[in-house]
Amino acid sequence: MASRAMEVAIGVPALAPERAVTWPKRTRARLSNGLEVILAEAHSIPKFHGELFFRSGNAAVADRLPGLAEMTATVARTGTTKRASRQIEEDLRRIGAELSSGAGADTSAISFSGLSEFAEPLLGLVNELAREGSFPEGEFERERRQKLEEVKMERTQPGFLASERLRKILFGTHPYAQVSPSEAQVAAYKRKDLEAVYRELYAPANAILLLVGDFDSNTMLKSAEKVFGGWAGKKPDSKAAAAPPNPRGRRVYLVHVSGAVQTQILAGCHAITRKHPDWVKLGLTNSLYGGAFNSRLVMNIREDKGYTYSPRSGVSALRQHGYFSVSAAVRNEVVAASLTEIFYEMDKLRSVPVPQPELADAQNYLSGVFSMGLATQDGLLSQLSTVALNELPDDYLETYRQKVRALTPADLLETARKYLDSANMQIVVVGDRAQIESQAALFGDLEVFGAQGARLS
């Protein structure tokens, strides 16, 4: 490796003493019908942000059809017993609000923001969408056709093709393997199936309402009780799917896209959930590896070698399982060279303790960025929802920085050995087979798939 020697900066001002980071007080309440409510005041702008989460998403109903919770959320916003689609959209605009509905693997959500002066009408509309969705036939049909075009479109995007393939490999028959329905599955969606999902999952005992913004918590809580208090419904049965087998041995999966002028690399392995005691350790290890601009991988394959624009690594935590992954879109000639560096940096973290100054830098980075969540209403909402949905301890926000700062080089070495599982990484490359197959095959047994999902060899 012909790396340049690192030079140091001269005359850099020292950091001033840190100002204390004070997370706002959270008000937690449970309404008479069992709905859990969490509020936090943030008076940066005269607005507020909210999420009505349901603790069930696509995985909970995957045995029926993939993506069914997402489709349910999509159609739920298109009509209620009181308002037609156009009325809903105009009423939102009338109060200056944004609203979206969707579902991931583990949750369904109605997300919204609006002017504080119109808080109650907005909560009223959210309540109506959560309880009185009418699933109009025409809207369902239109959204279903729209979805068909979306799933066709996804298959032309290298990033989608890579993550879809990786999830299939890592999760096998577990519902987490399904990131998107096929066209045939969308064609099989029925209005009554959506209504059934809606009746089962959209219940107060399965929900959590988070509100952050420019309001008085007591007043807002009264509004919430007034709006949502009459909502009844029982908690749906939840069944956990059997744990997926953890793939052993490095293997390569090539998704062929004819004429691709670049190759999307995505490699991953099983890791942990946010509740796991190693979570903070893995977060810091990831930050050193490829989770920050200043990380080893970015400095290597971008700033030193110029192979790629946006390399990164991350830990994706789903509720039951998590996985670690690393990605880079690289020019076709350097697929093998990039993979070599990706594994080199992983193996180095697994074999050589991180020097103390580099560790301190990464600790500062992670704890500083964590506190940025304080500065905006949606940033704070996102932190609060992470805590609530993962059932993390109440003092998670307050103690996170201390936990990061307490870690040692030995902790990181151990963590890298456990979770940056280079010998068992599953490697996906999306690109033109003729240009990259021989390079990719250097890294393990290789299978080739088409963009539509069929195995080509």
Count other C-beta atoms under 10 Å from residue 211's C-beta.
27
Please name the amino acid found at residue 370: F
Supply the minimum distance, in Å, between the C-beta of residue 175 and another protein. 22
Supply the minimum distance, in Å, between the C-beta of residue 362 and another protein. 8
C-beta of 317 vs 362, nearer to another protein: 362
- Count H helices and E strands in the chain, helices first: 16, 12
Q: Give the C-alpha separation, 162 to 148, whole Å.
A: 20
Supply the minimum distance, in Å, between the C-beta of residue 401 and another protein. 10
The alpha helices in 229-355, defined as continuous H runs, are 279-286, 296-298, 335-351
DSSP string, 441-455: GGGSEEEEEETTS-B
C-beta of 45 vs 423, nearer to another protein: 45
Q: Are strands 426-431 and 263-270 parallel, antiparallel or unpaired?
A: antiparallel
C-beta of 183 vs 414, nearer to another protein: 183
C-beta of 174 vs 433, nearer to another protein: 433
Supply the minimum distance, in Å, between the C-beta of residue 336 and another protein. 16
Supply the minimum distance, in Å, between the C-beta of residue 349 and another protein. 17
Supply the minimum distance, in Å, between the C-beta of residue 247 and another protein. 27
Name beta bridge partners: 114.
48
C-beta of 30 vs 86, nearer to another protein: 86
Q: Which three-class secondary structure state does DSSP give residue 197? A: helix
Q: Are strands 263-270 and 322-330 parallel, antiparallel or unpaired?
A: antiparallel
What b-and-e string marks burial along 282-306, b requiring 16 or more CB atoms within 10 Å of the CB? bbbbbbbbbbbeebbbbbbbbeebe
C-beta of 231 vs 365, nearer to another protein: 365
Supply the minimum distance, in Å, between the C-beta of residue 368 and another protein. 2
C-beta of 233 vs 431, nearer to another protein: 431
